[in-house]
Amino acid sequence: MAPRIIVAHGYNAAPHRHWFPWLVEQFDPGVVTVPALPNSTAPELEPWVDTLAAAIGGVDDETILIGHSLGAITTLRVLERMPRPWRLRGLILVAGFVSSLPNLPKLDEFTAPPVDLATLAAHIEHRSVIGSDNDTTVAPAFTAELARGLEAPLTIVSGGGHFVDRLGCHSIPELLPVVNRMLEASPPDTIETRR
């Protein structure tokens, strides 16, 4: 089965913005999908989760999910509602968060109640988090907290900001080797569910 990569964009974003078109161009046509999440200037949890869940469908050893900012917590919400058992090949969260952001209280419905990161991590073969050292939208401490909770390696991009086009970000070169490592890794022969 061919691999597929689904990217969840964030608040005030769209599939044609930021680094998403660049990522699509790195792979064969149809491998990377960036669904448009509804009303991104005034996002609501349930429509976002429903739309992303419909775009993802089921997950398997050929699926990699990537979430940026609000798309990261939305991806986690989709996974926590997914009927078990399931197994996901890879999860990459960019400038993600799972705690309430003091500067963006309007997004609090996405972070409450807390996500059980340890339970989700047990179903995800490869996990990675990418952040920057000067993100003023999602402070670096929030992204580091997410990486710890998922027991995922954290890649820090110096001067990456929030990885948005208004700050000149149209690609994330550090993301590509992470995706490629996940694609090249052999899928497990047996699926083990850790408790």
Active site residues: 69, 135, 162
Structure tokens at 72: 């990261």
Three-state DSSP string of the chain: CCCEEEEECCCCCCCCCCCHHHHHHCCCCCCEECCCCCCCCCCCHHHHHHHHHHHHCCCCCCEEEEEECHHHHHHHHHHHHCCCCCCEEEEEEECCCCCCCCCCHHHHHHHCCCCCHHHHHCCEEEEEEEEECCCCCCCHHHHHHHHHHHCCCEEEECCCCCCCHHHCCCCCCCHHHHHHHHHHCCCCCCCCCCC
